[in-house]
Amino acid sequence: TQRPPRLLQYGRMPLSALDRELAAQFDVAVLSEQADPDRFLAEQGTHFEYLVTSAAMGLPARVVDALPHLRFVSSFGVGFDALDKESLLRRGARVGYTPGVLDDCVADMAFALLLDAARGLSAADRFVRRGDWSRQRFGIQTRASGKRLGIFGMGRIGSAVARRAAGFGMQVAYHNRHPVEGSPHQYLPSLLELARWADFLLITAAGGDATRHLVNAEVLDTLGPQGFLVNVARGSVVDEAALAAALQDGRIAGAGLDVFEDEPHPLPALLALDNVVLSPHIASGTHETRHAMADLVLQNLAQCIATGRPVAEVPWSAAAATA
């Protein structure tokens, strides 16, 4: 019998069943669990052709540079902003990821946050638990149905959000760098125009340098005191300090956030506010979706080992491979 291929796991995966399956199929080393990870890389880095990581853990250049024979990275997640593009392209390693299978659950979560922010659901829960109900009235909230939903980032997930919005009788407009061909929704050529138009500004744009802090104080002030912000994309898209200040001053009405600039550390100012609902980066975190993501991580690995290319490949990796 052949020895199973060696596989470097950057860290524990977001689903323990996947850790177990990887250990069954491969000769696994988990980098984060080595006593001295840098020394481990220096001594053993030459042995690994395959690596798995997640969108949240990412992959720094320091690790790629220590793996001279790295051929394939399989990442758990659809975002690839935390995978170091330059070092991976230099290495010629191909990069697989898990688009498509998480769209519905992320869109569900976007709507959960939108409705919670508008109707004050989490604040209402705190109100009842504190025993305030017998002493005072809960504040009047904001209607979501029929309102204007501005989507920043009309990709697969943005489209899934827009489909849900139809059921709530919401009008949808969006902003991307370029209009999406064939999209039935209104395109607004700038984020400021989208913020001015929208009652709810919802972010499903990719993270990374191109979108860093695009949602800044000016965009939030333009969204205005009746407006709500929802972010299920990347914390880096929003200037979190500006957001906390806008929420505190009532310059926007409320927010729902699943992602933060420095996870797992939301800005402390946010924790004290009742008009923001916070969740710990769980939009893809259902049994169904995490298992589908895990299957694609495994399929990407298997196909890359068999044919040299993954089932679902990060665009810049695919582009480099065909160049």
What does the binding site for ligand 8YV look like in residue numbers (CB under 6 A)? 14, 54-56, 76-79, 102, 281, 284
Least distance in angstroms from the C-beta of 44 to ligand 8YV: 25
Give the active site residue among 94, 234, 240, 290: 234
Least distance in angstroms from the C-beta of 79 to ligand 8YV: 3
Indicate the length of the chain as a whole number.
Answer: 323
Least distance in angstroms from the C-beta of 292 to ligand 8YV: 11
Strands (E), 2-141: 6-9, 27-30, 50-54, 72-76, 94-96
Which of 72/76 has CB closer to ligand 8YV?
A: 76
Which of 103/116 has CB closer to ligand 8YV?
A: 103
Which of 76/174 has CB closer to ligand 8YV?
A: 76
Q: Quick one: how far is CA 160 from the chain centroid?
A: 15
Give the active site residue among 43, 263, 287, 288: 263
The 94-96 sheet, strands edge to edge = 27-30, 6-9, 50-54, 72-76, 94-96
Least distance in angstroms from the C-beta of 140 to ligand 8YV: 35
Taken in order 179, 185, 186, 192, the sign of the CA dihedral is negative
Active site residue 281: yes
Least distance in angstroms from the C-beta of 152 to ligand 8YV: 16
Q: Quick one: how far is CA 120 from the chain centroid?
A: 24
The full 3-state SS of 147-178, as one line of letters, equals CEEEEECCCHHHHHHHHHHHHCCCEEEEECCC
**Which residue in the shown chain puts its C-beta closest to ligand 8YV?**
77
70-79 CB burial, b ≥16 within 10 A, e <16: bbbbbbbbbb
Euclidean distance between CA atoms 55 and 295, whole angstroms: 15
Which of 221/295 has CB closer to ligand 8YV?
A: 295
Euclidean distance between CA atoms 242 and 217, whole angstroms: 5
Which of 244/259 has CB closer to ligand 8YV?
A: 259
Residues taking part in catalysis? 234, 263, 281
